[in-house]
Amino acid sequence: MARPGFVLEVDDKTPPLMTPAGAELRLERLGIGTRVVYPADAVASSDPTALIESALTAPLNAQSLASRIRPGTKLTLVIADDDPPFPRPQFDPRRTLVERVLESAARAGVDDVELVVANGLRQRWSPAQITSVLGDRVATSFLPDGLITSHDVTSEDLVTIGEVDGAPVQLNRRVAESDLVVVIGLASALTAQCPVAGGLTDLATINRMYGAHAAPGASAAVEDLVARHVDAFSLVAVLGQPLLGPAMRFVSKREWEWNLGDKLSYAGARQIVAAMPRNGASLVHNALSADYAIIDVVAGDPTAVRRDASRVWQAANAVEVAGAADVLVTPVWGAAIEEGPIGSPLDAAHHALVTAAGSHLGSPFVREGGVLIGFHPLPNKFSNRRQSAAADFFAKVLPASTDPAEIAAEFEPKAIADDWYLDLYRKQFAHHPLRVYHQWYRTAEAARNLSNVIWVGGDRRSAALLGHRAASTYADALEIASDVVGNEPAITFLRGPGLALGDVR
């Protein structure tokens, strides 16, 4: 049983606390009275077979999977591709879930089986990525015959399943025409998004659900339409916190519990990153992986599964934080960002404002009108192949405007019609150009509730383009914030490299 997370109040005996900032790991001494939110301890994984069997045998609000498949069933496995947990799993639990469903299908005599990745606006999966996530056994059995595909939001081969507010909703043809769809996913944070509605519909529908002008209730209406049209069964593994390898185990440990080996590992990690060029540091960070314990496996009706998986995750991982702070401090570790040497400014801002600050359950971590302080260098670095649209957004769109409504009207239509971006999306495994726009809309919406966002060690021009401020040191950032929050603000520090946290008040 893992120790639960807790809130530490810094006193004069508290040691300096680890504060990731891009590729750098540093120790920062925080002010007395600062509340530091530690996640639950990570534990090693164990064989999930019993949890999977139990979930499939007694699913929520549904018949067992074995009773729903028989010879002649047109079966499709949908692989949910939400934001992946960080660090990446050493062994992706979706592989085990997929293999278990395929074994059931084989025993039932089902021979019409395909797998579809519900990637939405995210990059389509390459054969190497498919093999990495699903394993050689599944890849070699299905890839050569084209039976594993990634969804294309721009495809002309989509099926209209109905309308929402007078607009057609199109769905992946294979999924729409299947007798049974089994949705395979992970719960590594709190999420209520339907992977089929958000990951397998057409571009216009996704934009109506999550774009700058998304109508209230649009997402729920599309999810309801999809639920009526698709006979779906969900199978979700709920994950604990990441357990890093021995060389980086100190990252997840509480600083006053570091032993001599942990201190040497920390010093070594700093020296390695400092001695390498940024691209080398990227290789070190992006190669990081972690072991994840599977807390539970939940199966059955998709809506019930999403609800119960969130509850299980909350019970195991959430931390009670009393009241909203004046200042929220959140480091952004470089490896928490999927592209670029140590993460692009857009990724860093989204991670801090949406992923970290937005992970609360009850009242927000920071009060309205408060200040967020992030640790990240905000380098103007983007992947030429996978982030071409994001690089242009940062260089050409943000200098003209940071307002989501203006950006959506003036720049978004050109981007989603750009042949070069679309070619990269379809052939080079790049993100769809609309993804960076949606990312910015959510980031800008979160920033509107704050009086200031300040980046410690951040590039000043990058911060200015985001509409934020930069500071050389943490002390300088607090001085800038004092104009709004005074000289003795209540401060909450989210300790952890991108670990999801929650306020359960």
Contact 94, 85 (CB under 8 A): no
Q: What backbone torsions phi and psi does residue 77 show, to the nearest 5 degrees?
A: -100, 120
230-264 b/e with 16+ CB inside 10 Å = b?
bebbbbbbbbbbbbbeeebbbbbbbbeebeeebee
- Which of the 8 DSSP states describes residue 301? S
Alpha-carbon distances, residue 255 vs 18, 25, 198, 498 (angstroms): 7, 13, 40, 17
* Token couple for 216: 């209230």
SS3 assignment, position 162: strand
Q: Which residue(s) pair with 375 in the sheet?
A: 331, 456
Tens-digit pLDDT string for the chain (505 aa): 678 889 999 999 999 999 988 878 889 999 999 999 998 888 899 999 999 999 999 999 999 999 999 999 999 999 999 777 778 889 999 999 999 999 999 999 999 999 999 999 999 999 999 999 999 999 999 999 999 999 999 999 999 999 999 999 999 999 999 999 999 999 887 666 789 999 999 999 999 999 998 888 899 999 999 999 999 999 999 999 988 888 888 888 899 999 999 999 889 888 877 776 655 565 556 567 889 999 999 999 999 999 999 889 888 888 888 889 999 999 988 644 445 444 789 999 999 999 888 888 778 899 999 999 999 999 888 877 788 999 999 999 999 999 999 999 999 999 999 999 999 999 999 999 999 999 999 999 999 999 999 999 999 999 999 999 999 999 999 999 999 999 999 999 998 643 444 444 4
pLDDT for res 144 = 96
How many other C-beta atoms lie within 10 A of the C-beta of residue 398?
19
Contact 121, 82 (CB under 8 A): no
Contact 279, 23 (CB under 8 A): no
pLDDT for res 384 = 74
- How far is C-alpha 266 from the chain's CA centre? 26
pLDDT for res 282 = 58
Task: Give the position of tokens 């990269």.
Answer: 424
pLDDT for res 496 = 64
pLDDT tens digit sequence for 97-122:
999 999 999 999 999 999 999 999 99
Alpha-carbon distances, residue 486 vs 11, 137, 407, 449, 478 (angstroms): 20, 59, 34, 18, 9
Distance separating alpha carbons of residues 125 and 274, to the nearest angstrom: 33
